[in-house]
Amino acid sequence: MLSTLKPLHRALIVVLLFFASGSTIGILIFLPRILPPTAPCSVTIQGKILQGAPDQIHAMVERLLEERVSLLIGETRLGVTWKRLGAYGAEGPLIRSLHDLGAAGNMCSPSLAPAKMELPVRFDPEKLLQAVLQIKETVDRRPENAHLSTQDGSLMPHQEGRSLDLVETLSRIQGALRDGRDEVDLPIKTLSPLTTTDKLRGVDMKEVLGYFETSYSRNEETRDRTHNLLLGAQRLSGEIVMPGATWSFNGTLGDRTAANGFRYAPVISGGELVEGMGGGTCQVASTLHAAAFFAGMTIAERQPHSRPSAYIKLGMDATVAYPKIDLKIKNPFEFPVVIRYRAQGGVLRAELLGRERLTTVTFLRHIDRQTASSERTIERNDLPVGVRVVTQLGIPGFVVERFRIIQRGSVGVRERSQDKYPPTTQIVMVGTNPDLSSKDPAVAGLIPKPDPHPPYHADHGMRIIQGKDLYEEAVHD
């Protein structure tokens, strides 16, 4: 009777008979032959048919990682491998899927088209970010303001800057790998300077509106600090502050990094002298602050140091630290003001130049309170007993009242402010090891150098008057 039935009907009857007898083995034998196969028996990756060959997949991944992608930066083409951008192979899940597909045996259908799958390559987010940041460092360029040559007054044209869009660049690189493209057009933003060439035509800089001078060392020991000072002064000389505009020291000079030409040199941090990048630029800012003060410019932002500076009058200094601590000056006049620096013979001079000097400015300073400094002893077992070196001289603390009187014609305006300088701790290194000798060359090389600065002293009161063809300075108790 079964022989007269169709094959499918015969299979169903056999299954029912097995169920009736309490056996489930028939399901395992006959069910796969009854259900129609729905899965393809192979997959394609980049047009190649694979059937669970791990070596093939791994080789394809390695070849892709070593392929070069072109990053287009305007007219520049930068070639780099996907691996250099942080791409890596993640073929494990795919290989397991292919193995499972092969183990299914007759569960797959040869008549179905191969399944298309992506090559298993992913990006390490941190490595990709670092690679793009390195590219960004080479691409980014600050805009340069138009400025006047302080030598002959000639106009130096402005230069536009550019900046790589970080987020969009990450997205485009990941999209290129996903889509199989070998070129990425990087998104570049154009940065316009604040002062363009057309604004400066006909600028008059014949009069010195205000000036100030500070001294710097030319010794070999301070060569890096002097380098930073001269570099900063050179880059800022010729800058122009337009009428009503506010000029930023940090915004113009930028970050004091090795890439920008600066070096490590002593800086004041927390009241102590430590090695820091760009040490010496604070003197550039302080000298300019004093010149702007006597020119009658508006001091929009200024912060004194945490300790007095030997190179400038107490109450006239200005500290800067990129990007948070800045010196900003505003032009209150109806004509442009030009910044000029001159450095010669150990003297740094800052000048503000313009059409005419309209003001006479008086600086008055009085020390309201003076606080003695403390001493901190640091015992060092790598130094012999008897060694005592003052590595940082103590400086008293000061509370200073400052006044500025700006006289323009018959009208005078008085400004009042207060500076606070906390005491600077004196630091003494003391040797404690009785088994060492300072005559031993190796030990002698460990002995720190004493603080080269002389003890700090400030007169209780000071008056400086500066005007057209006028400069007077007096001190008093």
Question: Which phi-psi region, left, alpha or beta, contains residue 233 (left: φ > 0; alpha: ψ -120 to 50)?
Answer: alpha
pLDDT per residue as tens digits for the range 78-90: 999 999 999 988 7
Instruction: Parse the chain into domains and list their residue ranges.
Output: 14-194, 203-476
Dihedrals φ, ψ of 326, to 5°? -130, 160
For residue 196, what are its two tokens?
A: 């363009």
- Whole-angstrom distance, CA of residue 197 vs CA of residue 145: 8
188 bridge partner residues? 164
Q: Which of 260-269, 385-394, 445-454 has the highest mean pLDDT?
A: 385-394
- Whole-angstrom distance, CA of residue 68 vs CA of residue 405: 67
Between 173 and 108, residue with greater pLDDT: 173
DSSP 285-340: HHHHHHHHHHHT-EEEE----SS--TTS-TT-----BTTTB--EEE--SSS-EEEE
pLDDT on residue 401 = 97
DSSP state of 197: G
Whether 26 and 14 have beta carbons less than 8 Å apart is answered as yes
pLDDT per residue as tens digits for the range 398-407: 999 999 999 9
Confidence tier at 334 by pLDDT (50, 70, 90): very high
pLDDT on residue 195 = 81
Tell which residue, 163, 145, 165, has the closest CA to residue 155. Answer: 145
DSSP state of 220: G
DSSP state of 216: -
For residue 104, what are its two tokens?
A: 């299914």
For residue 412, what are its two tokens?
A: 């005078």
**CA 31 from centroid of its chain's CA atoms:** 68
Confidence tier at 15 by pLDDT (50, 70, 90): very low
pLDDT per residue as tens digits for the range 143-160: 888 887 767 777 888 999
Mean of pLDDT values over 131-150: 87
For residue 417, what are its two tokens?
A: 């402010």
pLDDT per residue as tens digits for the range 406-433: 999 899 999 999 999 999 999 999 999 9
Q: CA quadruple 119, 124, 125, 129: dihedral positive or negative?
A: negative
For residue 365, what are its two tokens?
A: 């300073």
What percent of the chain is predicted at pLDDT more than 70? 81
- Whole-angstrom distance, CA of residue 432 vs CA of residue 435: 9
pLDDT on residue 35 = 45
Q: Count Cβ atoms within 10 A of the Cβ of residue 266 and give its class: 0-12 exposed, 13-18 middle, 19 or more buried.
A: middle
Helix (H) or strand (E) holding 10: helix 7-20
323 prior amide bond cis, ω within 30: yes
Q: Count Cβ atoms within 10 A of the Cβ of residue 297 and give its class: 0-12 exposed, 13-18 middle, 19 or more buried.
A: buried
Mean of pLDDT values over 454-472: 94
User: Is the CATH code 3.30.43.10 the one for domain 14-194?
Assistant: no
- Whole-angstrom distance, CA of residue 268 vs CA of residue 280: 10
pLDDT on residue 16 = 45
- Whole-angstrom distance, CA of residue 332 vs CA of residue 463: 24
* Res 6 pLDDT > 70: no
Between 53 and 173, residue with greater pLDDT: 173
pLDDT on residue 32 = 43
* Res 236 pLDDT > 50: yes
Mean of pLDDT values over 113-141: 85
Task: Work out the mean pLDDT of the chain and round it to a whole number.
Answer: 85
pLDDT on residue 208 = 96
Confidence tier at 178 by pLDDT (50, 70, 90): confident
* Res 12 pLDDT > 60: no
pLDDT on residue 154 = 79
- Whole-angstrom distance, CA of residue 85 vs CA of residue 343: 46
Whether 462 and 404 have beta carbons less than 8 Å apart is answered as no
First to last CA, the chain: 131
- Whole-angstrom distance, CA of residue 226 vs CA of residue 298: 29
